[in-house]
Structure 1
Amino acid sequence: MPVTDSRLTYRKPELRDVQRLFAIFGDPQTNLFNPAGPMASLADAQRLLNHWREQWATQGYGWWAIARREAPEHIIGFGGVAPLNYLTERRINLGYRFAVQAWGQGYATELGRDALAMAFQTLGLPEVFGLVRPDHAASIRVLEKLGMQPFGALDDVPGEAPSLVFRLCRPITAAG
């Protein structure tokens, strides 16, 4: 877990987070740019939570449950870096989803900064990618603020414009 001056706290998702996960991922507002639409059921939330917990168990990292530092028991979103299949190619992907009440406060950028620091400084990963729908201007701005550069496109949604792929490589330091 990164040590920063963050307004946010991060922890591994826990079984007790399933209701909050469903509340956020099942909200139509948080899925405006998700071609799959809102999560349909609590069972879907449980499957996603189980997947995240399995990633933590096998990879040692994954999406975090995110809360404000002053209210650590109230989850406002989920996000971080985790392996994701970009069609046939496996990439380390930066992703997030926040409750509507947390929008517009810079939390996505803060989470992104902290997740990238963990990816590069703690895990030593060589690069991290971000996948975003081409009409999702707010998320594109977040990726750009984080220093991610356009890398290409991914034709991942049949009948829709390709998603945009951004990438950031691990900074080269004097120590190597």
Structure 2
Amino acid sequence: MKFTSERLTYRLYDQADFDFLYSILSDPEMVRYIGNGNTRDVQETQLFLDWILSHYKSNEEYGLKLIVRKEDNIPIGHAGIVPQTINGKQQLEIGYWIAREYWGKGYASEAAKTFLNRGIKQLGITRFISLIQPDNQASRKVAIKNGMKLEEEIVLKGKDVCIYSFMS
């Protein structure tokens, strides 16, 4: 599975992408608003990669996809449609992480919009969420730019989280 947007290519992760994933997960600034905010070591990164790969077994459309910049074939982050359980209910999240050196260039907005449109047009999904910690202003702007609205604030795994939603 491989598809593109204006400046980006999206593809399935594989084991060869471990070093890139580790570079993101071991950067304190990158994970500040992700999960518990802690960096991950080599073993924890492998577990996270295994989790990513596990989504592909049930449906390759779900799970995080590696984002590669078309102009130079460099991986810059990941995004995707990620199944989440929120308050006992299955929901589909539009998730996106961009490596720090590529922040502020519109890549997160482009990726989020690509997955939102793909979900609606090709998969027939009518509702999406994005889970964003309150202080993550950049991700909140991406959600709003792509038509999402703040639905509620909850505590998820001990962290305050804003749920942004989109209904088509």
TM-score, with structure 2 as normaliser: 0.91
CA contact (8 A) 2:3 2:11 kept: no
Distance 2:167 2:112 in 1: 14
SS of match in other structure, 2:156: coil
Partner SS state of residue 63, structure 1:
strand
Match of 2:71 in 1: 70
Task: Report the CA distance shift for 1:58/1:35 in structure 2 as closer, same or farther (over 3 A).
Answer: closer
Q: How much does 1:2 deviate?
A: 4.7
CA contact (8 A) 2:3 2:9 kept: no
Tell me the distance in 2 between the aligned counterparts of 1:88 and 1:157.
Answer: 13
TM norm structure 1: 0.87
Number of positions where the alignment pairs a residue of Structure 1 with one of Structure 2: 166
Partner of residue 120, structure 1 = 120
C-alpha distance in 1 between matches for 2:26 and 2:90: 26
Gaps in structure 1 of 5+ consecutive residues: 171-176
Q: Which runs of 5+ in 2 are unaligned?
A: none
Task: Please list the CA deviations of residues 37-60 of structure 1 after superposition, one character each: whole Å capped at 9, or x if unmatched.
Answer: 233211211111111111112122
- Matched ranges for 1:12-161 at <5 A: 12-34=12-34, 36-61=36-61, 62-72=63-73, 74-158=74-158
Seen in structure 2, the aligned counterparts of structure 1 residues 51 and 60 have a Cα distance that, compared at 3 Å, is: same
The structure whose residues are more often strand, as a share, is 2
Question: Cα RMSD between the aligned structures?
Answer: 1.6
| Distance in 2 separating the partners of 1:67 and 1:34 | 21
| Alignment check: 8 A CA contact 1:19 1:42 kept | no
The structural deviation recorded for 1:34 is 3.1
Q: Which has the larger radius of gyration?
A: 1
Say which SS state the counterpart of residue 46 (structure 2) adopts.
helix
Secondary structure of 2:49's aligned partner:
helix
CA distance in structure 1 between the partners assigned to 2:14 and 2:118 by the alignment: 20
Identity of aligned residues (%): 25
Contact 1:2/1:117 (8 A) holds in 2:
no
Take 1:123 and 1:109, find their aligned partners in 2: how far apart are those partners? 20
